[in-house]
Amino acid sequence: MAKSSQTRSATSGNKAPSPKTKATNKSVRRVPGRPPKNIPIETPDTDSLLGLYEDMLMIRRFEEKAGQLYGMGMIGGFCHLYIGQEAIVVGMQSVSRDGDSVITSYRDHGHMLACGMTANGVMAELTGRKDGYSKGKGGSMHMFSREKHFYGGHGIVAAQVPIGAGLAFSHKYRETGGVSLTYLGDGAINQGQVYETFNMAALWKLPVIFVIENNQYGMGTSVSRAAAGRALADRGKAYGIPGMQVDGMNVLAVREAGAEAMAYCREGKGPYILEMQTYRYRGHSMSDPAKYRTREEVDAMRKQRDPIDALREVLIADGVENEQIKAIDAKIKAEVTQASDFALASPEPDPAELWTDVIREGGVI
Ligand SMILES: Cc1ncc(C[n+]2csc(CCOP(=O)(O)OP(=O)(O)O)c2C)c(N)n1
Ligand SMILES: [Mg+2]
């Protein structure tokens, strides 16, 4: 097998930055709500690390608030939280370029925020309000933003995978130079359509990164009970698609692997698979009591592997003052409270909206 097709692992990215990158106390210069770009992969400076920290924390606090609002009955239907997995989407977005497209499953709020969609709009949609991204008619699993190149939000397991290859086809056909970031779960990887997609993506050398978020469970079934073979990163071997296992709890390891996969795709070499090893702290959805795993297992992951705690330690080792970290925490908390207030103040959609955005055979109603 060619060297590029072998599964490797990237787990060593959490190197402390070099001494010359001492904390500067400057605020992070970037478009709000958008992970910082163009950060050197090997030695990100402190400002860049602070940006990554802020973006992960934003997702964490947003999801906690969504969980609270669900408990209060303000969010209906399904709601799948991303808590624990933040390093993956923040790390990948930080090595992407404007114009790259993103598509994922129903565990999607973090991806939306990382793509630059507003917390106000996402929260308003979760709460079924007029100012939501789908005018309050889509909810948690059905939000899109062409402007931010976010293509959903898909409730059917693995349905987004062939569509992700389609987005890559579009990049190639239109010569945009873009890459399709197609996220899927460890449960989705066993779907037949994934392998039809791998075949076509490899055959046509499509610029797509299949990011497997292996959070150890598909609903209540552990990956060891559901998936044959050891590394999910190997699943593209038959098609010559290179794969890498990555510590998905370490945003710097995600960035290193992501940058390599991006370069491969942009050089026109075809698809790439990244298996991010991660963990979801909450149940599958808000209605899951998670009896299939022990509290000790979850606590151990939270205490020993948390991606936000790990980056905070790197920041402190790099000389960032506790006060600065506390100020970021307070700022994010205020932003999330503001998003929640905005959502709850937004009216419910007008009943006339029942007749808009509906497609029937022969055209739009
Ligand atoms: C085709 C299909 N089969 C079954 C389901 C029910 N279902 C919803 S989520 C899920 C588990 C998927 O797990 P995974 O891909 O690991 O994603 P995670 O929820 O862990 O993010 C299942 C079986 C579905 N939505 N679609
Ligand atoms: Mg899973």
187 lines ligand 1 (CB under 6 A): yes
Lowest mean pLDDT among 37-51, 100-114, 132-146, 194-208: 37-51
Phi and psi (nearest 5°) for 167? -65, -40
Q: How far is ligand 2, taken at its centre, from the CA of residue 11, in Å? A: 20
Strand ranges in 111-232 using DSSP code E only, listed in sequence order: 180-185, 208-214, 217-218, 221-222
- pLDDT of 34: 53
Q: How far is ligand 2, taken at its centre, from the CA of residue 24, in Å? A: 39
Over range 314-324, report the average pLDDT. 95
Q: How far is ligand 2, taken at its centre, from the CA of residue 219, in Å? A: 7
**153 in the Ramachandran plot: left (φ > 0), alpha (ψ -120 to 50) or beta?**
left
- pLDDT of 148: 97
Q: Are strands 208-214 and 180-185 parallel, antiparallel or unpaired?
A: parallel
Let me know if residue 362 belongs to a domain. no
Over range 167-181, report the average pLDDT. 98
Over range 183-190, report the average pLDDT. 98
pTM score > 0.85 for this model? yes
Let me know if residue 155 belongs to a domain. yes
Over range 163-175, report the average pLDDT. 98
What atom in ligand 1 is closest to the CA of residue 185? Answer: 15
Distances (CA, A) of 195 to 4, 103, 273: 19, 17, 12
Let me know if residue 158 belongs to a domain. yes
Let me know if residue 23 belongs to a domain. no
- Give SS3 for 275: strand
Over range 130-150, report the average pLDDT. 97
Confidence of residue 338 (pLDDT cuts 50, 70, 90): very high
Over range 165-183, report the average pLDDT. 98
Counting the structural domains of the chain, the total is 1
Flag whether pLDDT at 29 surpasses 80.
no
Nearest in space to 200 (alpha carbons), one of 151, 160, 161, 242: 161
- pLDDT of 324: 96
What count of other Cβ atoms lies within 10 Å of the Cβ of residue 360? 7
Let me know if residue 32 belongs to a domain. no
Residue ranges near ligand 2 (ion) with Cβ within 5 Å? 185-186, 215, 218
User: Best mutation site among 78, 111, 140, 157 for ligand 1, i.e. most ligand atoms within 8 A of its Cβ?
Assistant: 157
Q: Which ligand approaches the C-alpha of residue 283 most closely?
A: 1
Confidence of residue 12 (pLDDT cuts 50, 70, 90): very low
Return the residue whose CA atom lies nearest to atom 13 of ligand 1: 218
63 lines ligand 1 (CB under 6 A): no
185 lines ligand 1 (CB under 6 A): yes
Return the residue whose CA atom lies nearest to atom 25 of ligand 1: 156
Identify the domain containing residue 220 by its residue range: 3-14+43-356
User: pLDDT tens for residues 209-252?
Assistant: 999 999 999 999 999 999 999 899 999 999 999 999 999 999 99
- pLDDT of 365: 63
Q: How far is ligand 1, taken at its centre, from the CA of residue 219, in Å? A: 6
What does the H/E/C string look like for 234-259? HHHHHHCCCEEEEECCCHHHHHHHHH
User: Best mutation site among 104, 111, 219 for ligand 1, i.e. most ligand atoms within 8 A of its Cβ?
Assistant: 219
Let me know if residue 49 belongs to a domain. yes
Flag whether pLDDT at 327 surpasses 90.
yes
Lowest mean pLDDT among 15-29, 164-178, 209-223, 346-360: 15-29
275 lines ligand 1 (CB under 6 A): no
Let me know if residue 159 belongs to a domain. yes
Q: How far is ligand 1, taken at its centre, from the CA of residue 39, in Å? A: 34
- pLDDT of 36: 61
User: pLDDT tens for residues 47-98?
Assistant: 999 999 999 999 999 999 999 999 999 999 999 999 999 999 999 999 999 9
The alpha carbon of 114 is separated from its chain's Cα centroid by a whole number of angstroms, namely 7
Confidence of residue 4 (pLDDT cuts 50, 70, 90): very low
With a pLDDT cut of 90, the percent of the chain lying above it is 84
Positive or negative, the CA dihedral 239, 245, 248, 252 is negative
Q: What is the CATH number of the domain that holds 237?
A: 3.40.50.970
57 lines ligand 1 (CB under 6 A): no
Over range 151-156, report the average pLDDT. 97
User: pLDDT tens for residues 105-116?
Assistant: 999 999 999 999
